[in-house]
Amino acid sequence: MALKAKHGNQEFGVGDVVAVYQKLADRVQIFEGMVIGIKGRGQGKSFTVRRVGAQNIGIERIFPLVSPVIEKIELKKRGKEGIKHAKLFYTRDKSKKEIEKIFSRAAKRIKKE
């Protein structure tokens, strides 16, 4: 149950918004969303990215961290500090507004300590 992962020189964690650049046959496809889980260790480490597509349908993809298909991972937005869960699967049924509310509560809890 990892909270952080590193690809190349880019470090990201659970709750961060990332853009994954994936090489296909003749082009690069970008998948942007929130990291909701990181699992495994060493060469077998993988992470799950979730984004909300057209008509509010959630799309999830699992990417292996050590893969020749992944060109780069770009950090778009850092998640709030104070997230204690390694898997954020409970955000699947929440709206973006509710997720931001959860993150703001976590930030307030850190400031009190």
Compute the distance between CA of residue 68 and CA of residue 5 in angstroms, rounded to an integer. Answer: 17
Compute the distance between CA of residue 88 and CA of residue 90 in angstroms, rounded to an integer. Answer: 5
Domain boundaries, the chain: 4-112
Specify the pLDDT at position 28.
Answer: 94
Specify the pLDDT at position 109.
Answer: 64
**pLDDT per position as a tens digit, 14-70:** 888 899 999 988 999 999 998 999 998 888 899 999 988 888 788 899 999 988 899
Q: Global pTM?
A: 0.82
Structure tokens at 89: 């699967």
Compute the distance between CA of residue 92 and CA of residue 67 in angstroms, rounded to an integer. Answer: 26
Q: How far is CA 113 from CA 75, 101, 108, in A?
A: 27, 19, 9
Measuring CA to CA, which residue among 16, 23, 9, 68 is closest to residue 47? Answer: 16
Tell which CATH architecture fits domain 4-112: Roll (2.30)
